[in-house]
Amino acid sequence: MMSEKGLKELRNKLDNIDNELLELLNKRMDIVHEVGVLKAHSGGSIYRPEREREIIDRLELLNKGKLNRSAIEALFLEIFAISRNIELPENIAFLGPEGSFTHQAAESRFGAMSSYLPIGSISGVFREVSTQKAKFGVIPIENSSNGIVSDTINCLTKYNLKIIAEVILDIHHTLATTCDKIKDIKRIYSKDIAFEQCRRFLENVGLDEVEHIPVESTTKAAKYAVKEKNSAAICSHVGAKMYNLPILFENIEDKDNNRTRFFIVSDFENAKSGNDKTSILVKLPNRSGILVEFLTDFDKAGINLTKIKSHIVEGNSIFFIDFDGHKDDEHIKTIFEKHKESIKFLGSYVKEADDI
């Protein structure tokens, strides 16, 4: 057993390391301030996702200790967020309410110190950023179980904001209730999409025939369930904790790989990172074979298409397309120039995943 003296010596070592860390972090903040001054003069943004990824990649290569990449990323994304907020506090609008999965996606990139604006609609998020009431907007673009979010496509069509980052979030649902037993639950609140994602679980535990009440968000479901006797909520772990609603079952979603992809939008474009993805909207002339002709040009240029989805916007057929690379890559610039009448550039950003 370690002696009190030995324990005290180890704690003193930890204290000394903490003192050094504090001094180094303050030095980092001083340099961030200098960068911020230069950015202010040039009109650039202090948030550069491609630069943050470059730093994390470099640190992972240098790492020889117990920290894995996830730990390095978690630590330094929070340091980056604190640096930005000390230098230039900015509002982040997100599809609310607080505790929603979109809120969690926003916090994963902008940290706990940022000023968040929960907005009730995707169009509202775009509006807040377009009118500069918020610097960034965070919205869902697709879910692995339920596909593309049409409202986001519509807003990307309407507004001239740019996608500057994507966030991939694993989606886990809980069944939370004040009831001690399943048989006491008479009604369940949740968002309609969450009911769909947990259908098999509800059948297995005999809750498929109780009243299912759709509400605007899973967070609001937790708020209702904590107030009403014999009710429950399908909600996130965070949402249940927000309202002190006891969790009866965790991870009740039917699919193990239930993931949602989110976009961060703003009013600037990213530089190259070396590992980029680009998103575009395409409206083609109405003639036979035009889509094949368009996609053949990508194939000839060696561009890897990772997603093609068709949508109807105001009666017109458009295509939402993701592909590897940055808009300033020479072979991509050639495609853009040839089809400039058909392509709306949405953004080039650091690639988090090929697809979900």
Of 163, 147, 165, residue with least CA distance to 260: 147
Question: Domain with 209 in it: what CATH number?
Answer: 3.40.190.10
In a domain, 159, yes or no: no
Write down the residue that tokens 């202090």 correspond to. 46
Distance, CA of 249 to CA of 204 (rounded, Å): 13
Torsion of CA 250, 253, 255, 258, to 10 degrees: -90
119 pairs with which residues across the strands? 95
255-282 burial: b if 16+ Cβ within 10 Å, else e: eeebbbbbbbbbeebbeebeebbbbbbb
Q: Name the domain count of the chain.
A: 2
In a domain, 180, yes or no: yes
Provide DSSP, 228-285: STTEEEEE-HHHHHHTTPPEEES---S-TT-EEEEEEEESS-PPP-SSEEEEEEE---
Q: Take residue 333 and report the two structure tokens written for it.
A: 């610039």
Going by the DSSP 8-state scheme, the letter that residue 183 receives in this structure is G
Structural domain that includes position 203:
174-249
Provide DSSP, 113-176: TSEEEEESSHHHHHHHHHTTS-SEEEEEEEETTTEE-HHHHHHHHH---EEEEEEEEE---EEE
> What is the bridge-based pairing of β-strands 91-95 and 136-143?
parallel
pLDDT at 345: 97
Q: Is the peptide bond before 49 cis (omega within 30 degrees of 0)?
A: no
In a domain, 230, yes or no: yes
**Please, which residues have CB within 8 angstroms of residue 155's CB and are 6 or more apart in sequence?**
122, 123, 125, 126, 139
Q: Cβ(96)–Cβ(140) under 8 Å?
A: no
Domain match, 200 and 236 both: yes
Of 75, 112, 77, residue with least CA distance to 92: 112
In a domain, 105, yes or no: no
36-72 burial: b if 16+ Cβ within 10 Å, else e: beebeeeeebbbbbbebbeebeeeeeeeeeeeeeeeb
In a domain, 325, yes or no: yes
In a domain, 354, yes or no: no
Write down the residue that tokens 């694993």 correspond to. 170
Question: Domain with 308 in it: what CATH number?
Answer: 3.30.70.260
Domain match, 237 and 293 both: no
pLDDT at 33: 78
Distance, CA of 53 to CA of 240 (rounded, Å): 32
In a domain, 7, yes or no: no
Q: Take residue 128 and report the two structure tokens written for it.
A: 């807040």
How do the pLDDT tens digits run along the chain, 356 residues long?
A: 667 888 888 999 999 999 999 999 999 988 887 876 666 555 556 678 888 888 999 999 999 999 999 899 888 988 888 887 776 767 999 998 888 899 999 988 888 778 899 998 999 999 999 999 999 999 999 988 788 999 999 999 999 999 999 999 998 999 999 999 999 999 999 999 899 999 999 999 999 999 999 998 899 999 999 999 999 999 999 899 999 999 999 999 998 888 999 999 999 999 888 899 999 999 987 777 788 888 999 999 999 999 999 887 777 788 999 999 999 999 999 999 999 999 999 999 999 877 77
pLDDT at 276: 94
Distance, CA of 230 to CA of 177 (rounded, Å): 8
Domain match, 225 and 289 both: no
Going by the DSSP 8-state scheme, the letter that residue 40 receives in this structure is H
Torsion of CA 52, 24, 78, 134, to 10 degrees: -80
- Give the end of a domain, one of 230, 249, 268: 249
Domain match, 235 and 282 both: no
Angle formed at CA 248 by CA 245 and CA 250, multiple of 5 degrees: 100
Q: Cβ(237)–Cβ(248) under 8 Å?
A: no
pLDDT at 182: 93
In a domain, 126, yes or no: no
pLDDT at 40: 56
Q: Take residue 72 and report the two structure tokens written for it.
A: 């390095």
